[in-house]
Amino acid sequence: MEAGLSWTDERVALLRRLWEDGQSASKIAAQLGGVTRNAVIGKVHRLGLAGRAKTGEDGQAPVRAQPALEIETAIAVVEAEAPEPVAIVTHRPAPEFPMPTPAQAAPAEAVSLAVSQRVTIMDLRESMCRWPLGDPTTPEFRFCGARSITGLPYCTHHAEIAYQPAAERKRDRRVAGFR
DNA sequence: CCCTGATTCGC
DNA sequence: GCGAATCAGG
């Protein structure tokens, strides 16, 4: 799952997406896997993407919620419909977070009021919480799906977890992350 | 010393 | 085309 890493269309697409989204070269490299930040920067220049809307370019990471990384990665993979296995490196967003109880076969009428339904990307709507659940590479991958806070991508529960001071977030990277 | 992107240049 | 080494800087 590590061999044959190169700038495939999928990887370039993900690179573009993350770079234009303001992610740093090192973070992008970590997500792509198999490349260094130098490689990412070099590729960015060759693609003519250098110089972007730099919001937090002065210091560390841009103002962005951690889960956004996984979401973008998952979406990018889905959109690309990668013909070959794609290695996904995720960042665990928080130490621990109690997951809502498994949604049982609830009547459609009850969905809107349910605490969490857990939906696939196909059923994810604008007003639904986009907090990722599970491994994006597996069919079991779901999004929270609960009613999101207006203007935010997450429900109240996950927004609390997502939006934390960067300084308090622990640097804890690992392969595959959510539960 | 941590990090950032930019550039050079041998491969 | 690629990316390590290097540079310049926050």
Pair (A81, A121) in one structural domain: no
Look at residue A42 and tell me whether its pLDDT is greater than 90. yes
Residue closest to C6, CA→C1'?
A: A38
Least confident of A27-31, A105-109, A125-129, A148-152: A105-109
Which of A91, A113, A136 is at the close of a domain?
A91
Look at residue A157 and tell me whether its pLDDT is greater than 80. yes
Count of domains in chain A? 2
| 3-state SS assignment for residue A74 | helix
| Nearest nucleic acid nucleotide to A46, CA to C1' distance | C1
Pair (A125, A46) in one structural domain: no
* Higher-pLDDT residue of A9, A162: A9
Å from the A48 CA to the B5 C1': 14
A170 located within any domain: no
**A60 contact to strand B (CB, 7 A limit):** yes
Mean pLDDT computed over A129-133: 85
Pair (A35, A61) in one structural domain: yes
Mean pLDDT computed over A80-93: 36
Secondary structure E strands in A12-145: 89-91, 132-133, 142-143
For chain A, state the CA radius of gyration.
17
Which of A46, A72, A91 is at the close of a domain?
A91
Residue closest to B3, CA→C1'?
A: A60
**A27 contact to strand B (CB, 7 A limit):** yes
Pair (A133, A80) in one structural domain: no
Model-wide pTM > 0.75: no
A68 located within any domain: yes
Pair (A87, A1) in one structural domain: yes
Pair (A74, A113) in one structural domain: no
Give the helix/strand (H/E) hosting A175: strand A173-175
pLDDT grade for A136, boundaries at 50, 70 and 90: low
**Domain that residue A131 falls in:** 98-163
pLDDT grade for A33, boundaries at 50, 70 and 90: confident
Pair (A87, A11) in one structural domain: yes
